[in-house]
Structure 1
């Protein structure tokens, strides 16, 4: 298959760029240096050194696409990029708020409101001292528990634990 399928109103260069990117991404590990042998895109850079480096491929696609796009197409892509950024931020915000609700339900009785511990030996998340732990360490402590803290394996899902960690990171001052 040497030509991409038609994709609605996409410009021909964009269809070709997506097709080449997909071909490079799905490159089989055959050991052949010249895969694909028959390429509709003759440039060595466009093939990203025979499909070997995805970063080079993406850079070439962006360079080729931007040189042939009209200012209206560039503006549309910018708007789409901004919308995607807003969606990503709202997803991150949802994680924070869900983490706060879970923290209030399961953790606040010992760790206190806003992360200030109420009991001796319990980490204080507002001071930042306990925040030197990695997310993986916090995740395993929440999931498996410690000597003084119960395990939440089976009580909280993986996503809920990650939401709590996102909330804990926000408490650091």
Structure 2
């Protein structure tokens, strides 16, 4: 069949575990429980750090930021994954797919950058314990978090722009339980 005869894909069908329907209910329960546990644990961390005055230090500020990013990161994929386990033919538009892919990579790279900053913070606290409070102020922490967010959201921008320029034809079914770059690129016709 020629490429001209194919219709352009406007939405994708996420098949998930359609080849193993007996695992879908168990997978849904496990993923939902993990998602709720992740949200609850990270909200508890944020609440405890906010409530306790003696925890208002750079290390805990970074930890709260990491917990908040973890909530966003899991929320960028888990709801659609849960939907694909419940519905027989869960669909997502190409624009929604690109947006979810961008958020997944941006939040993941932001977490990696934040872990690097947290490592630097702990190294500074161990190697220079007397000068640490003068070096790592809350103003510096806020600036570092801003740099992490900028770097994390800019890092995947160029690859996502290139992926968004691809045309998708032919089978619109994604043999995966959430959207990832690999299965999406296999469907690209350009």
| Structure with the larger helix share | 2
User: Highest relative contact order (Cα 8 Å, sep 6+), 1 or 2?
Assistant: 2
Question: How high is the TM-score relative to the length of structure 1?
Answer: 0.28
Question: How high is the TM-score relative to the length of structure 2?
Answer: 0.26
| Structure with the larger strand share | 2
